[in-house]
Amino acid sequence: MIDKLNNKKTKSSMNILLIILFASIIILLDTDTIGDNYIRRVLNLSAIYTIVSVSMNLVNGFTGLFSLGQAGFMAIGAYTVAIFTVPLAERAKIFYVVPQNPVLAQIELPFAAALILGGLLAALVAILIGIPVLRLKRDYLAIATLGFSEIIRIVLTNAKSISNGALGIKSIPVMPTMWVFFGVAILSVALIWLLINSSYGRAFKAIREDEVAAEAMGINLFKHKVMSFAIGAFFAGIGGGLLASLLATVDPKQFYFTVTYSFLLIIVLGGMGSISGTVIASFVVTAGLEVLRFFDDPLTLFGIDIPIFRPGFRMVIFSLLLMILVLFFRNGLLGQKELSWKLILDRLKRNKRTGKGGTAQ
């Protein structure tokens, strides 16, 4: 039966089926037929995490640059959306300590324009940072990008007439439909996928595999590293912009460098160098953290209070799960492979041969 499934026609009809299923779930959620605000919010957050994680995977997993600057680039995108989309009438109320910069105070942009501008600004900053920093390699690069990400955050905390400092910016218009988040996520992932499977993507992979050989084959290392870094920052900026619109508020604390670790976690879990793995891991990790909230509530079993069920316990469970995953799936969920019907069917076939179920190696 599995062999029957393994032909082109069934595969494409299965794909269409999946797309219809996906679209109808979103429509049902969107029209309030199923789910509630909480579920919608978690799913939207997952979509945002998908964008940022895939962009980080482009830099870390496909180009082999150990960069930890994602939180900073997200902050740039988020603040751009916040600064330019808050209605003019609300501005004075928000900037009540230090008045907003008079030029910025007169500009209001539509959400889409502010979102793209945020991405572009993040990319521009990435180019400026990349010129000195991308000469470094491995852990040195990680430390330098982490440092720059913190600099961005601290600048935002202190440039009060632009960012309103530690008070943050509130009243950011909220998007009415999940399609904004999922649409942008699908578009971003598709664009990054197309890039990776183009000649430039191959050059990125060559740099990851062997810098010396890549350069000897005529690839300008610096140019391609800056390119990958800036494109990664662009999409992180887009993700940040969407986050601002989802939460309706931004403040510098949201972009503390620990945020970057969530994305690092997602790409390691999904597989460095696998886009589909990253998408799956984004949803699993974001939703998983919510599901595990169960462990944060006090639990009484047969009249006895279980003492370890208290706030914070879910992070213990989460970390344990992670350790198990990393121990048994060293290359993450998919390694450098992409999810496809062929991969699933091959695995099913293998499991059938080795008896029922059986674990993947």
Residues that bind other proteins (CB under 8 A): 191, 194-195, 198-200, 202-203, 205-206, 209-210, 212-221, 227, 231, 336
Nearer to other proteins, 34 or 213 (CB): 213
Nearer to other proteins, 187 or 308 (CB): 187
Nearer to other proteins, 102 or 218 (CB): 218
Q: Nearest distance from residue 205's CB to other proteins, in Å? A: 6
Q: Nearest distance from residue 226's CB to other proteins, in Å? A: 11
Nearer to other proteins, 171 or 336 (CB): 336
Nearer to other proteins, 237 or 252 (CB): 237
Q: Nearest distance from residue 212's CB to other proteins, in Å? A: 6
Nearer to other proteins, 154 or 187 (CB): 187
CA-to-CA distance for 162 and 20, rounded, in angstroms? 44
Q: Nearest distance from residue 208's CB to other proteins, in Å? A: 9
Q: Nearest distance from residue 112's CB to other proteins, in Å? A: 18
Nearer to other proteins, 223 or 350 (CB): 223
Q: Nearest distance from residue 197's CB to other proteins, in Å? A: 9
Q: Nearest distance from residue 127's CB to other proteins, in Å? A: 14
